[in-house]
C-alpha cells in the first residue's frame, strides 16, 4: 500500500507526513493541515486534512497543493489562484486591526450611542493633530463627553494606551462614571486626590504598565502657588511636584490621556486651576479640554484656553488676532471650493491673500494647492483632496473644534413655554417675608462662602417652603444646592490655602430664624403644590400615558413632592445624585408606557440620562443661573428627540423678588424658546451681584428692582454682542461642511471596524489554526458567541499575553469553560462579570494580529467574487481590482488603504471613491465565484486590467507623496521652532526657580531643579534630532489584494 502510494506521489510533498500546511487548488483560501492519514478510492489518492474544529476531511491529492513561501500577487493572478470574499475580508480586516490606518475610525460604532457626524469631527482632527491635544468647545447638548471618549478609544486602538485621567468639578464625577459605563462599557473609578497621588507615585517610581480609568475632582487637585517648595506639604502640592518632575517623553508618561471637563474654570492663567492644567499637559501624552465657551473674536477666554493646548503656538494675544485674520483666508478658500459649482477664482484669490501673511509666506502646501487648482478643480475627487489640503493649513483646526446646533442638526425641536402662576397664601407670604428679613440681617458684612450659604438658604424657601423647613437642619447639601441653583462651585473660584487638602466641602448650618412653624398647616395650604397637582391631573385625564419630568434644584423639595404625589395617587419616580445603578432602573421603569407618569429630578440627578421620549418638562422652581434652565430643557431637547414640540411649564409664585426678576430676565434672553448656547461669560459678575443684592439689608425693594432691571439690560446687550461676535468667528475659525461630509462618507464606505468583521476574523482564525476551539451561538443575540478555547489555543494566547502584556484583560486563556464574547460594543446593557467585549484592543484580537504578522502566508490575496447589481452600485459586468496600503512616514505617519477598479471592456478606470465602495461591498456581501478560472475571461485580459489599476494607483501615490512632502516640510519647520520655544520657556522658568530658592536661602531643592534643567536640554536635543531624521519622508506602497468582481 505504502509503496503504491509513493509511486503515484508527484515530486514536492509527502501526503503521509503530518503537519504539512496545504490548500485547495480551486479555493486557495481554504487551508488546513495534513494528519498523515491517506487512503485509496479507486484510482484516486485521498489525503486527510484538518480544516479546523471538528472538520477533518479526505480530499483528492491532485486537488491539494502545499503552501510554499508567499507568492507575489501577480503570480497568483496569472496562475488563476482565486479565493473568495472571506479571503478579501481577512486581508482588509487584518490591515484595520493593526490600528495604524489614518483614514479609519476605530471609535465609530464603538458605543451605545446614535451616529452623529459632528461627534467625529474632534476625532478626525485629533487623529491628525501633531501635538495630541485638543479643545472641544461644542454647544451644550451636542455630546462633548461622547466625543472625548471616542478620542480615548482611538488612542487605545492606535497607541495601546493604558491610563486615562478624567478631571471635572466634583458634582460631575458620577455623571462621567455613568456615561462611561452606559455608553462605552468602560469602568471608571472615582478616586480622591490622595489615592490618585499614591498610585501615580508608584507608576513614576517603577515605570509600571498599570492600566486605569480614573475620575477625580478639579477641586481636590489644585496646587498652591508654591508647590515647588519641598517644605510645602499636603497632597495637592505633592501631586503637583510629581507631575512637574515627570514630564512626558516618547517612552513614558504618567498618563496616556487626560480629559478636563468644564474647562472654563481654567481660563485665568494666575489661578490654581490653570496651574494644574499646565502641569497635567506636560505629564501626559494626550490632553483634551471640554467647554461650551462661545468662540468670540476679541475675547481673551478662547486665547487662554488655546494657550493651555499649545503655549508655544499661542504665546501672544496680539499675534493671536493676526492668526485669526490669516486663517480667515483659508476658510474663505474652503467655502469657495465647497459651493456648487466650485468658485475657483475666489479660492485662488483667498489663497493669494493668505500668502501675504507671515503665517503662510512661502508655504509649500499652498503652492501645491494652487497647482491643483490650475490643473483641474472641477473633478469631484480632486476637489475633495484640495479641501483636505486646505484643512491641513488651518491655523486653528488642529487645536480646537466647535459645533453649534444650528449648523449640525437638520431638525430643530420647537420649545413651547407656559407659565403656571401661583399666589402665596397669607401664612406662606408672612413666613417667606420673615425668613427673607432674618437672612438679610445675617448677611450684613458677610462675603464669599458664608454669604453664598445664606443665599442658598433663601433660595430653598423660593423652591418650596415646606420642603425647605422639613430639611432645614440638613447642613451637608449646601454645595450641591449652589451647583444646582447657581451653577457655581465656590471652591473652584478660590485659591487653595497653605497645606489644606480635600474638596473644601461647605458645612454651613442654617441661622436661627427665631420663629415656630406648623408644617402640617403649611403643607395643607401649599398653593404651589396644589397648582402642580391640578395641572398633572388635567393632562393625565387627556392622556393617561403622558410623561412629565419635574425639575427642582433642592433635594428637600423633591422629597416633599414625591411624598405628596404618592399620597394623591400619582405614580412618581425620584432621582438625585449618587444613586448609581438604581437610577438606571428607575429611568427604565419611567420610560415604559405602564411605568410612572412623573420623574422628579435634580440637575445632578439627571446628568447622563436620556429623556428624549418625554415631551413635558415642569420647572417647579427656576434656578438662578439660566444655564441650569438650558441644561434642564436640554435633557429633552437633545439629539434623538422625536417630538416636534416640547412643552416647558414654569411655575412662578407671584410677588416674590426672585421669580419676578428671573422670569423677566429669562423672557429677555429667550431661554425657554431656543437654545441659548453658553451664557457663562455673559452672566459672570452681573448675576452674582444680583444675588448679593437680594440679601443686602441696606437696599429697599424698589432699589433691588431698579438694579435688577439695569443688570437685565446689560446682560441682553452683552448677549446680542456675543451672538454677533460668534457669527464673525465662524468665518475666521473654521469650515465644517467638508469635514462632516467626509465623516458621513467614511461611515458609508466602511472605514471602521464592524462587529461582523471582528466576529468573522475570530471564527475564521480558529477554524484555520486551532482545531478543538468551540463556538456556541447565543439564542436571540447577534454578534455574540460563547467561546471555549482548545488547550493549545489557551496555551498560545497565554504565552502572548505574558509577553505582550496588553492593556485589556481576558479570561479566555485561564480555563476551559465557555466565555460569552460580544462583538458589538453597542450592547453594553448585557454586561456582567462573565462577558467580554471583543474590540481592537482586546488580547484576542491583538493575538490574531500578531499571528498574521508573524506568518502572512495565511492571507490569500487574490479573489474572484460575485455581487448582486443592486448591492454593487455599478452596472453588471466584470471588474478587475487592485488594493494597496500606502504609508508616508515623516514627522507624522499617514497610512491608508487605496483602491482602483477597471471594468473589463471599458476604457474608464473607476475613481478612488467608486472603487473603494465596490470592493467594500464585495468583501461584505459577495459570494465566491465558482469555477472562476473557466467562467472568467482570458487570464491575460484580467492581468492587463490589473496592470492598468496598478498604474493608476502609482500615479495617485506619486501625487499624494508630493502633497505629503510639502506638508511634512512645513510641519518640521514648525516643530523645530516649537521645540526650541518650549525648551527655552521651561528652562527660563526653572532658572528663575533656582534664583528664587537661592535668594530665599532654601538650597535644598536647587540641585534637583538644576537636574531638571539638564533634562530639558537633553530632551530638546533629542527632539531636534528626531525632527531632522523625519525631515526625509519614507514612502511605502504595499500591494494587498487583487482579483475580479462579477456584478450580476
**What does the pLDDT read at residue 11?**
46
β-partners of residue 651 are 420
Residue 805 has pLDDT above 70, yes or no: yes
Domain count within the chain: 6
Answer yes or no: is pLDDT of 957 > 70.
yes
Together in a domain, 650 and 758? no
Q: Do 300 and 322 lie in a common domain?
A: no
Asked whether residue 732 carries a pLDDT value surpassing 60, the answer given is no
Contacts of 620 (CB under 8 A, 6+ apart): 463, 464, 528, 532, 550, 551, 552, 557, 561, 651
Q: Is residue 865 part of a domain?
A: no
765 and 704: one domain?
no
Number of H helices, E strands in the chain: 38, 27
911-946 b/e (C-beta count within 10 Å ≥ 16 → b): bbebbbbbbbbbbbebebbeebeeebeeeeebeebb
Least confident of 474-483, 627-636, 662-671, 1036-1045: 474-483
The pLDDT tens digits for 919-950 are: 999 999 999 999 888 888 889 999 999 999 99
Given this model, what pLDDT does residue 421 score? 86
Q: Tens of pLDDT along 398-419?
A: 898 888 777 776 666 788 888 8
Q: Is residue 957 part of a domain?
A: no
For residues 223 and 198, membership in a common domain is answered with: yes
**Does one domain contain both 259 and 195?**
yes
Q: Is residue 3 part of a domain?
A: no
Mean pLDDT over residues 194-223, rounded?
A: 93
Considering the domain architecture, whether residues 760 and 678 belong to the same structural domain is answered as no
**Residues 373 and 270 grouped into a single domain:** no
Q: Which of 16-30, 608-622, 870-884 has the highest mean pLDDT?
A: 870-884
Contacts of 710 (CB under 8 A, 6+ apart): none
Q: Which domain holds residue 1025?
A: 966-1035
Q: What is the 3-state secondary structure (H, E, C) of 500-513?
A: CCCCCCCCCCCCCC
* Confidence label for 254 from pLDDT (cuts 50, 70 and 90): very high
745 domain-assigned: no
> Which residues does residue 785 pair with via DSSP β-bridges, in sequence order?
777, 821
Q: What CATH number does residue 633 fall under?
A: 3.40.50.300
- pLDDT value at position 653? 86
Across the range 986-1005, mean pLDDT stands at 89
Q: Is the pLDDT of residue 820 over 80?
A: yes
Q: Are strands 44-50 and 56-60 parallel, antiparallel or unpaired?
A: antiparallel
pLDDT reported for residue 123 = 92
In a domain, 257, yes or no: yes
pLDDT > 70? residue 307: yes
> Are 223 and 496 contacting, i.e. CB atoms less than 8 angstroms apart?
yes
Per-residue confidence (pLDDT) for residue 511, from 0 to 100 = 56
CATH of the domain at 182: 3.40.50.10810
pTM over 0.85: no
Q: How confident is the model at residue 830 (pLDDT cuts 50, 70, 90)?
A: low
In a domain, 845, yes or no: yes
Residue 506's pLDDT band (cuts 50, 70, 90) = very low
* Residue in the block written with cell 471583543: 838
Give the end-to-end CA distance of the chain in Å, rounded to a whole number. 49
> Is 287 or 522 the better-scoring residue by pLDDT?
287
pLDDT of residue 489: 63
136 with 268, same domain: the answer is yes
- Looking at the structure, do residues 382 and 431 belong to the same domain, yes or no? no
The dihedral over CA atoms of 643, 645, 651, 652, expressed in degrees to the nearest 10, equals 160
| Three-class SS state of 705 | helix
Indicate the residue among 827, 858, 889 that finishes a domain.
Answer: 858
In this structure, the answer to whether residues 271 and 330 fall within a common structural domain is no
Query: Of the candidates 314, 329, 358, which is a domain's last residue?
Result: 314
**Residues 194-219: what's their mean pLDDT?**
93
Strand-pairing partners, residue 416, are: 647
Lowest-confidence segment of 445-454, 704-713, 778-787, 976-985 by average pLDDT: 445-454
**Section 16-45 average pLDDT:** 82
Cell numbers placing 352: 493669494
Average pLDDT, the chain: 83
Q: Are residues 270 and 374 in the same domain?
A: no
* pLDDT reading at 503 higher than 60: no
Look at residue 995 and tell me whether its pLDDT is greater than 60. Answer: yes
Cα-based distances in Å from 62 to 47, 82, 261, 541, 939 = 10, 17, 66, 80, 22
Contact, 213 vs 164, CB < 8 A?
Answer: yes
| pLDDT tens figures, 322-358 | 888 888 888 889 888 888 788 889 999 999 999 998 8
In this predicted structure, the answer to whether residue 498 has a pLDDT above a threshold of 80 is no
Domain boundary among 285, 314, 343: 314
CA angle 417, 534, 670 (to 5 degrees): 10
Within 10 angstroms of residue 169's Cβ, the number of other Cβ atoms is 19
Question: For residue 204, which of 259, 247, 152 has the smallest C-alpha distance?
Answer: 247
The answer to whether residue 130 is domain-embedded is yes
Q: What CA–CA distance (Å, rounded) separates 996 from 279?
A: 20
99 phi-psi bin (left φ>0, alpha ψ -120 to 50, beta other):
left
945 part of a folded domain: no
Asked if residue 582 and residue 551 are part of one domain, the reply reads yes
Amino acid at each position: 500500500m505504502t509503496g503504491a502510494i509513493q509511486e503515484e506521489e508527484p515530486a514536492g510533498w509527502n501526503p503521509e507526513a503530518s503537519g504539512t500546511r496545504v490548500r485547495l487548488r480551486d479555493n486557495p483560501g481554504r487551508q488546513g493541515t495534513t494528519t498523515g492519514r491517506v487512503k485509496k478510492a479507486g484510482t484516486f489518492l485521498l489525503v486527510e486534512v484538518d480544516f479546523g474544529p471538528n472538520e477533518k476531511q479526505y480530499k483528492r491529492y491532485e486537488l491539494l497543493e502545499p503552501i510554499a513561501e508567499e507568492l507575489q500577487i501577480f503570480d497568483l493572478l496569472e496562475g488563476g489562484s482565486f479565493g473568495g470574499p472571506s479571503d478579501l475580508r481577512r486581508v482588509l480586516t487584518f490591515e484595520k486591526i493593526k490600528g495604524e490606518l489614518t483614514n479609519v475610525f476605530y471609535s465609530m460604532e464603538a458605543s451605545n450611542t446614535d451616529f452623529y457626524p459632528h461627534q467625529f469631527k474632534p476625532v478626525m482632527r485629533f487623529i491628525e493633530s501633531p501635538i495630541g491635544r485638543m479643545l472641544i468647545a461644542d454647544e451644550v447638548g451636542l455630546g462633548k463627553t461622547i466625543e472625548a471618549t471616542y478620542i480615548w478609544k482611538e488612542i487605545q486602538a492606535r497607541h495601546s494606551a493604558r491610563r486615562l485621567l478624567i478631571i471635572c468639578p466634583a458634582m460631575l464625577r458620577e455623571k462621567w462614571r455613568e456615561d462611561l459605563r452606559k455608553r462605552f462599557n468602560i469602568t471608571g473609578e472615582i478616586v480622591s486626590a490622595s489615592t490618585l497621588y499614591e498610585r501615580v507615585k508608584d507608576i513614576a517610581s517603577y515605570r509600571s504598565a498599570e492600566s486605569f480609568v480614573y475620575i477625580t475632582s478639579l477641586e481636590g487637585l489644585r496646587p498652591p502657588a508654591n508647590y515647588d517648595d519641598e517644605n510645602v506639604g499636603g497632597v495637592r502640592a505633592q501631586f503637583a511636584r510629581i507631575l512637574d518632575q515627570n514630564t512626558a517623553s516618547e517612552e513614558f508618561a504618567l498618563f496616556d490621556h487626560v480629559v478636563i471637563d468644564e474647562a472654563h474654570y481654567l481660563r485665568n492663567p494666575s489661578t490654581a486651576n490653570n496651574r494644574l492644567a499646565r502641569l497635567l499637559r506636560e505629564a501626559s501624552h494626550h490632553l483634551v479640554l471640554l467647554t461650551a465657551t462661545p468662540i468670540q473674536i476679541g475675547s481673551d477666554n478662547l486665547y487662554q484656553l488655546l494657550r493651555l493646548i499649545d503655549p508655544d503656538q499661542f504665546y501672544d494675544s496680539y499675534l493671536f488676532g493676526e492668526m485669526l485674520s490669516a486663517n480667515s483666508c483659508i476658510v474663505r478658500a474652503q467655502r469657495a471650493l465647497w459651493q456648487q459649482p466650485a468658485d475657483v477664482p475666489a479660492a485662488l484669490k483667498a489663497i493669494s491673500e493668505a500668502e501675504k501673511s507671515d503665517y503662510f509666506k512661502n508655504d509649500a502646501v499652498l503652492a501645491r494647492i494652487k497647482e491643483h487648482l490650475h490643473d483641474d478643480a472641477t473633478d469631484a475627487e480632486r476637489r475633495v483632496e484640495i479641501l483636505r489640503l486646505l484643512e491641513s493649513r488651518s491655523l486653528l483646526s488642529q487645536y480646537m473644534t466647535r459645533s453649534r446646533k444650528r449648523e449640525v442638526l437638520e431638525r430643530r425641536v420647537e420649545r413651547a413655554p407656559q407659565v403656571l402662576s401661583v399666589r402665596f397664601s397669607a401664612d406662606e407670604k408672612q413666613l417667606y417675608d420673615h425668613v427673607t428679613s432674618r437672612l438679610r440681617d445675617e448677611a450684613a458684612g458677610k462675603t464669599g462662602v458664608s454669604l453664598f450659604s445664606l443665599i442658598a438658604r433663601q433660595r430653598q424657601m423660593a423652591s418650596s417652603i415646606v420642603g425647605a423647613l422639613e430639611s432645614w437642619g440638613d447642613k451637608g447639601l449646601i454645595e450641591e444646592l449652589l451647583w444646582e441653583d447657581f451653577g457655581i462651585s465656590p471652591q473652584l473660584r478660590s485659591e487653595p490655602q497653605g497645606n489644606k487638602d480635600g474638596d473644601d466641602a461647605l458645612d454651613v448650618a442654617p441661622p436661627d430664624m427665631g420663629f415656630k412653624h406648623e408644617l402640617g398647616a403649611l403643607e395643607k395650604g401649599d398653593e404651589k403644590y396644589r397648582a402642580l397637582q391640578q395641572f398633572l391631573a388635567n393632562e393625565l385625564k387627556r392622556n393617561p400615558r403622558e410623561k412629565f419630568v419635574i425639575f427642582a434644584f433642592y433635594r428637600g423639595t423633591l422629597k416633599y413632592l414625591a411624598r405628596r404625589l404618592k399620597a394623591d395617587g400619582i405614580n412618581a419616580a425620584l432621582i438625585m445624585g449618587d444613586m448609581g445603578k438604581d437610577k438606571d432602573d428607575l429611568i427604565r421603569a419611567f420610560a415604559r408606557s405602564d411605568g410612572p407618569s412623573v420623574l422628579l429630578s435634580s440637575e445632578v440627578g439627571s446628568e447622563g440620562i436620556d429623556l428624549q421620549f418625554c415631551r413635558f418638562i415642569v420647572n417647579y422652581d427656576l434656578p438662578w443661573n439660566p444655564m441650569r434652565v438650558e441644561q434642564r430643557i436640554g435633557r429633552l431637547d437633545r439629539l434623538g428627540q422625536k417630538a416636534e414640540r416640547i412643552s416647558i411649564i414654569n411655575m412662578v409664585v407671584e410677588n416674590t423678588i426672585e421669580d419676578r426678576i428671573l422670569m423677566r430676565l429669562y423672557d429677555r434672553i429667550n431661554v425657554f424658546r431656543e437654545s441659548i448656547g453658553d451664557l457663562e461669560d455673559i452672566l459672570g459678575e452681573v448675576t452674582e451681584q444680583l444675588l448679593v443684592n437680594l440679601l443686602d439689608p441696606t437696599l429697599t425693594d424698589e432699589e433691588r428692582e431698579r438694579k435688577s432691571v439695569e443688570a437685565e439690560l446689560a446682560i441682553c446687550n452683552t448677549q446680542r454682542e456675543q451672538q454677533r461676535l460668534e457669527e464673525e468667528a465662524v468665518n475666521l475659525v473654521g469650515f465644517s461642511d467638508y469635514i462632516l461630509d467626509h465623516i458621513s462618507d467614511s461611515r458609508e464606505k466602511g472605514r471602521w471596524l464592524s462587529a461582523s468583521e471582528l466576529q468573522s476574523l475570530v471564527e475564521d482564525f480558529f477554524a484555520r489554526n486551532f482545531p478543538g476551539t468551540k463556538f456556541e451561538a447565543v439564542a436571540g443575540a447577534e454578534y455574540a458567541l460563547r467561546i471555549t478555547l482548545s488547550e493549545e489555543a489557551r496555551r498560545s494566547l497565554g504565552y502572548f499575553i505574558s509577553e505582550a502584556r496588553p492593556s485589556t484583560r481576558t479570561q479566555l486563556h485561564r480555563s476551559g469553560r465557555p466565555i460569552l464574547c460580544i462583538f458589538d460594543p453597542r450592547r453594553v446593557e448585557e454586561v456582567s462579570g462573565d462577558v467580554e467585549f471583543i474590540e481592537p484592543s482586546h488580547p484576542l484580537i491583538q493575538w490574531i494580529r500578531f499571528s498574521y504578522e508573524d506568518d502572512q502566508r495565511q492571507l490569500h490575496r487574490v479573489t474572484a467574487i460575485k455581487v448582486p447589481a443592486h448591492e454593487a452600485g455599478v452596472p453588471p459586468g466584470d471588474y478587475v481590482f487592485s488594493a494597496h496600503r500606502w504609508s508616508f512616514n515623516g514627522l507624522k505617519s499617514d497610512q491608508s488603504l487605496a483602491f482602483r477598479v477597471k471594468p473589463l471592456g471599458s476604457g474608464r478606470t473607476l475613481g478612488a471613491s467608486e472603487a473603494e465602495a465596490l470592493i467594500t461591498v464585495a468583501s461584505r456581501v459577495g459570494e465566491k465565484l465558482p469555477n472562476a478560472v473557466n467562467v472568467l475571461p482570458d487570464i491575460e485580459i484580467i492581468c492587463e486590467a490589473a496592470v492598468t489599476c496598478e498604474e493608476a494607483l502609482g500615479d495617485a501615490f506619486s501625487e499624494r507623496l508630493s502633497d505629503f512632502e510639502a506638508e511634512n516640510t512645513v510641519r518640521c519647520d514648525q516643530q523645530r521652532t516649537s521645540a526650541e520655544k518650549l525648551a527655552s520657556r521651561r528652562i527660563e522658568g526653572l532658572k528663575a526657580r533656582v534664583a528664587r530658592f537661592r535668594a530665599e536661602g532654601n538650597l535644598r531643592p536647587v540641585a534637583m531643579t538644576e537636574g531638571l534643567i539638564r533634562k530639558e536640554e537633553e530632551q530638546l536635543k533629542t527632539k531636534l534630532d528626531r525632527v531632522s531624521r523625519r525631515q526625509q519622508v519614507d514612502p511605502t506602497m504595499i500591494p494587498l489584494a487583487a482579483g475580479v468582481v462579477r456584478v450580476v
